[in-house]
Amino acid sequence: MNLELSLKTQNVRSFNMSENGLVSMRKKVKAVLMEDDDVIMLTNVQLGTNKTAVEREFLFGGKNPYEIYTNSKASDARGVLKKSNKQVIDTRKDDDDRILILKTVIGNETITLGCIYDDNRNNTKALQKVDEFLTAMDVKHGIIIGGDYNVIVNKELDQIGYENQHLRTKAVKYLMDWDEKGTLIDSYRKKHKKGKDITYVPDTEHDRINPKLGRRLDKFLSEDMNIKETTILHVSDNIYKQKINMSKNLTTEQSD
């Protein structure tokens, strides 16, 4: 795949304006759009009763307009994938608001982009559904699935200050099987064998720069063939605090 593409996955926790108001919602949208990525995969999204207002902000609130694709018609959708100016030729979404997959054409390339927000239970329901969708869409190459996988695969490297959190053994086995087959591989772990970056810091940690607790739950999975030219960045929510005075946790992993 010969393609330059900037991707970001973020756990945004909500765009619901019923509690925080329009100003707070616009600030969070501004944070999401700050890096001007080609594709932004958002998880843990609640739109409340203000979906139209939120969509308007994504269209006109950044340097370029973004079109929103959600995996649910409900106002409290738990996951959403948002992209800009890319031709979509096929879509799949589950019934639990956990998965959205778009088969797109970008330039001369067909690339399938997915967003997942897995749950905390020790099952493989969402991961199996991803396999099912990719088969139904006849997708074998050019796959990138980003989002919050809610699982610790390596308890020594994927977390700090925790011991037994998110150790979903069935999900770990499923992910390891993907890795061994070369179906979908953790892009970060492929490039950083001993890396200890984290993407989630609990609200109880007041020191956002040097937290004592954290986990790497958000990640991109891709084919082995797509990883060689990938650059992966983890952006602390402290950056958004400094630049636009964000007060809420916003976890980010980016891939260029």
pLDDT tens figures, 32-82? 888 888 899 998 887 767 778 888 888 888 888 888 888 877 767 778 888
Whole-Å CA distances, 113 to 38, 130, 183, 184, 195 = 12, 11, 14, 12, 25
pLDDT tens figures, 220-233? 999 876 656 778 88
The residue-averaged pLDDT of 18-32 equals 77
Phi-psi region of 96 (alpha: psi -120 to 50; beta: other; left: phi over 0): alpha
Tell me: pLDDT of 145 over 80.
yes
CATH number of the domain at 191, please.
3.60.10.10
The tally of domains found in the chain comes to 1
The more confident residue out of 221 and 254 is: 221
Range from 3-17, 110-124, 158-172 carrying the lowest mean pLDDT: 3-17
Is the residue at 162 inside a domain? yes
Is the residue at 1 inside a domain? no
* Residue 1: band (very low, low, confident or very high) from pLDDT cuts 50, 70, 90: low
Neighbours of 98 (CB within 10 A): 23
Neighbours of 74 (CB within 10 A): 12
| Distance between CA atoms of residues 185 and 72, nearest Å | 27
The more confident residue out of 26 and 241 is: 26
Is the residue at 2 inside a domain? no
What is the predicted pLDDT for the residue at 228? 62
Structural domain containing residue 52:
7-255
Tell me: pLDDT of 132 over 90.
yes
What is the predicted pLDDT for the residue at 12? 83
Range from 6-10, 75-79, 110-114 carrying the lowest mean pLDDT: 75-79
* Residue 255: band (very low, low, confident or very high) from pLDDT cuts 50, 70, 90: low
The more confident residue out of 157 and 29 is: 157
Neighbours of 1 (CB within 10 A): 16
Range from 116-120, 129-133, 245-249 carrying the lowest mean pLDDT: 245-249
What is the predicted pLDDT for the residue at 167? 81
The residue-averaged pLDDT of 90-103 equals 93
For the chain, how long is the longest CA-to-CA vector? 47
pLDDT tens figures, 42-55? 988 877 677 788 88
Tell me: pLDDT of 234 over 90.
no
| Distance between CA atoms of residues 96 and 116, nearest Å | 11
